[in-house]
């Protein structure tokens, strides 16, 4: 199964190609929200370098949020268009699930990626180590919902022993400092397209795909346009 993974939920976007579980190539965009400019040219270049054509792809996996509203819209719209026009499968991958794959194996029992959501909020989710996972599945399993809430509200929900990482700590680390909380390095800040591809492939092998006409971004809260002008985001 040949997979294209698209990650545009954060400040640093990327694309990747995978052949089943093997990552063939990956490319990150330059820093800044340049996803609309870089996404398709980067995918085109990766395909050419791998000797693949668009028609060789079996699956498009895309990070569908939460994250940058504009970035997520760009990625989801591009993935839906590619999947529909090529007649191939599509899988939306929550960006926090992809971010969780960055955590090291010694992160402990609990981990929580924390992403700056602006408006005095963070996006987050709790993941628990799964010692009985099937071969090839992620080391951690999400426990509960994807969240958008104030840092102090998240801090009150965290288990006693937890590993935190993500760009939300750049601004809100002090809200989580207490005994038992460990912080990951700054290198664990952005989800990767390679992990989006891995999770998308695992979902398809498990029999889950998304309808290109039905997949929508995971915003978790109203957009700025909805709050200011009453415009409904799609």
Could you give the 3-state DSSP secondary structure of residue 47? Answer: helix
Contact 183, 165 (CB under 8 A): yes
Q: Domain of residue 114: give its range.
A: 103-183
**Same structural domain, 91 and 195:** yes
d(CA 138, CA 94): 14
* H or E stretch covering 18: strand 14-19
In sequence order, what DSSP letters do the residues of 78-146 get, joined into one string? HHHHHHHHHT-EEEEE-HHHHHHTTS-TTS-SEEEEEEEEETTEEEE--EEE-TTPPTTS-SEEE-S--
By CB atoms closer than 10 A (0-12, 13-18, 19+), residue 170 is exposed
Residue 164 lies inside a defined structural domain of this protein = yes
Residue 234 lies inside a defined structural domain of this protein = no
Residue 196 lies inside a defined structural domain of this protein = yes
Q: Are strands 162-165 and 110-118 parallel, antiparallel or unpaired?
A: parallel
Q: Using alpha carbons only, how large is the chain's radius of gyration in Å?
A: 17
d(CA 117, CA 203): 27
DSSP state of 5: E
Number of domains in the chain: 2
Instruction: State the pLDDT at residue 31.
Output: 66
Instruction: State the pLDDT at residue 37.
Output: 82
DSSP state of 233: P
Q: What is the pTM of this model?
A: 0.91
Report residues of the chain scoring pLDDT below 70: 31-34, 132-138, 222-234
Instruction: State the pLDDT at residue 35.
Output: 75
Instruction: State the pLDDT at residue 227.
Output: 45
**Same structural domain, 85 and 67:** yes
**Same structural domain, 86 and 127:** no
**Same structural domain, 109 and 174:** yes
Residue 153 lies inside a defined structural domain of this protein = yes
Find the helix packing angle between 35-50 and 69-86, rounded to 10°: 40
Could you give the 3-state DSSP secondary structure of residue 182? Answer: strand
Q: Closest Cα to residue 224, out of 118, 137, 143, 149?
A: 118
**Same structural domain, 157 and 52:** no
Instruction: State the pLDDT at residue 154.
Output: 97
The answer for residues whose C-beta is within 8 angstroms of residue 205's C-beta and 6 or more apart is 1
């Amino acid at each position: 199964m040949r997979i294209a993974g698209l990650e545009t939920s954060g400040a640093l976007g990327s694309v990747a190609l995978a052949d089943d579980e093997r990552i063939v190539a990956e490319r990150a965009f330059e820093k800044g929200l340049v996803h609309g400019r870089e996404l398709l040219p980067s995918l085109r270049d990766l395909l050419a370098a791998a000797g693949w054509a668009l028609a060789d792809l079996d699956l498009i996996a895309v990070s569908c949020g939460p994250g940058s509203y504009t970035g997520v819209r760009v990625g989801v719209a591009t993935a839906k268009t590619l999947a529909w026009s090529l007649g191939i499968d599509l899988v939306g991958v929550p960006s926090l699930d992809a971010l969780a794959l960055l955590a090291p194996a010694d992160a402990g029992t609990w981990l929580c990626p924390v992403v700056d959501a602006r408006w005095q909020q963070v996006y987050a989710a709790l993941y628990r180590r799964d010692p009985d996972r099937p071969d090839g599945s992620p080391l951690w399993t999400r426990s509960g919902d994807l969240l958008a809430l104030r840092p102090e509200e998240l801090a009150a929900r965290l288990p006693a022993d937890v590993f935190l990482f993500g760009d939300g700590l750049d601004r809100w680390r002090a809200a989580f400092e207490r005994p038992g909380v460990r912080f990951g390095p700054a290198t664990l800040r952005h989800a990767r397209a390679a992990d989006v591809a891995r999770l998308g492939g695992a979902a398809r092998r498990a029999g889950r795909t998304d309808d290109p006409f039905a997949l929508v971004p995971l915003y978790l809260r109203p957009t700025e346009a909805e709050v200011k002008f009453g415009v409904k985001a799609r």
